């Protein structure tokens, strides 16, 4: 894969391999781990603009950043009201972040039915207003969206142009329609049509589970970079292979992730989170099913650590 830095406003990323936002997974510890393994830019989990404006504790916890967090700091906001989106973007909670990404691609029914996420693709004027209002906060704005709601409404090119015109500094395009969720082939042509229509960087997303997948996505779309999503949950070391970063000792890296998670988050959250992550990491290993059952019986830091010590990576 051809590596290069990506310019977002006046900022420059380490390279063009991004970790996509993953609700429930891309907390600051996981993002730092992926950055250290070779990701050029990472995004927070999607954060509700209204939740921030109403000072929701659960929402604020998604924005936790340790003092030593490295790299460009990118937060993803979601919402459908331009007023609340701008107010959130200008809030003290977003102040530590360098880039604001706007989610216009989430296919989850709860988000979609509320007129947020991918629902905004059906209302380009509103989507444009949101981008222009958020841009008034003074930070570079990026937008993540899909190629359309369904195969009868493929709008990647038009939506990309509208986002650029509204003030977006970069766009990330998931090459599937909203109704496909995360299944089916990626539509290279739609991403390519958007890339050819705009001057801002275009990051292609969807179906990247290997270096071969990333190369194919880049070659067939002309995109400036790729965003890795689900593959990173199972194998964050994919960033080493994509970036050419030497692969460190896996167990040491995951041990560090476990330790940092318990340091920064409360025990209940950390136990549940690390149970899920360790279950992802052991997929495909001998006796993975039995190991997973054992992990999901863990209810304390000590039990998680004991279970981890018995794993071989």
For the stretch 18-46, pLDDT in tens is: 999 999 999 999 999 999 999 999 999 99
Looking at residue 310, its pLDDT comes to 82
Query: Domain ranges in the chain?
Result: 7-243, 250-309
34 tagged catalytic: no
SS3 204: strand
User: Which fold is adopted by the domain 7-243?
Assistant: TIM Barrel (3.20.20)
Residue of 75, 27, 20, 76 whose CA lies nearest to 260: 27
Q: State pTM to two decimals.
A: 0.95
For the stretch 57-99, pLDDT in tens is: 778 889 999 888 989 999 999 999 999 999 999 999 999 999 9
- Average pLDDT of the chain, as a whole number: 95
Q: How far apart are CA 146 and CA 157, in angstroms?
A: 11
210 has pLDDT over 90: yes
Tell how strand 41-48 and strand 99-104 pair up.
unpaired
Active-site pick, 34, 106, 240, 298: 106
116 has pLDDT over 90: yes
């Amino acid at each position: 894969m051809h590596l290069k830095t990506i310019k977002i406003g006046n900022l420059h990323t380490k390279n063009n391999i991004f970790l996509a936002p993953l609700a429930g997974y891309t907390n600051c510890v996981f993002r730092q781990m992926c950055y250290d393994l070779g990701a050029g830019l990472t995004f927070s989990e999607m954060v509700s603009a209204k939740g921030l404006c109403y000072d929701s504790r659960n929402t604020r916890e998604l924005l936790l950043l340790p003092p030593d967090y490295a790299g460009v700091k990118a937060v993803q906001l979601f919402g459908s009201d331009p007023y609340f989106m701008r107010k959130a973007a200008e809030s003290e909670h977003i102040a530590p972040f360098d880039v604001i990404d706007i989610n216009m691609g989430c296919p989850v029914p709860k988000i979609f039915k509320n007129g947020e996420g991918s629902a905004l693709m059906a209302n380009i004027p509103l989507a444009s207003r949101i981008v222009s209002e958020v841009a008034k906060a003074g930070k570079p704005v990026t937008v993540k969206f899909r190629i359309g709601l369904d195969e009868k409404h493929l709008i990647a090119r038009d939506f990309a142009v509208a986002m650029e015109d509204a003030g977006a500094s970069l766009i990330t395009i998931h090459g599937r329609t909203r109704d496909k969720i995360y299944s089916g082939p990626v539509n290279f042509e739609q991403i390519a049509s958007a890339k050819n229509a705009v001057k801002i960087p275009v990051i292609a997303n969807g179906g990247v589970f290997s270096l071969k997948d990333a190369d194919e996505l880049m070659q067939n779309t002309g995109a400036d970079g790729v965003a890795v999503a689900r593959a990173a949950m199972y194998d964050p070391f994919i960033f080493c292979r994509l970036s050419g970063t030497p692969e460190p000792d896996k167990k040491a890296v995951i041990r560090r992730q476990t330790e940092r998670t318990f340091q920064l988050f409360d025990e209940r959250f950390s136990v549940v989170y690390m149970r899920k992550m360790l279950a992802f990491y052991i997929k495909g290993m001998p006796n993975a099913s039995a190991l997973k059952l054992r992990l999901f019986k863990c209810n304390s830091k000590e039990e998680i650590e004991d279970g981890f010590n018995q794993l071989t990576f």
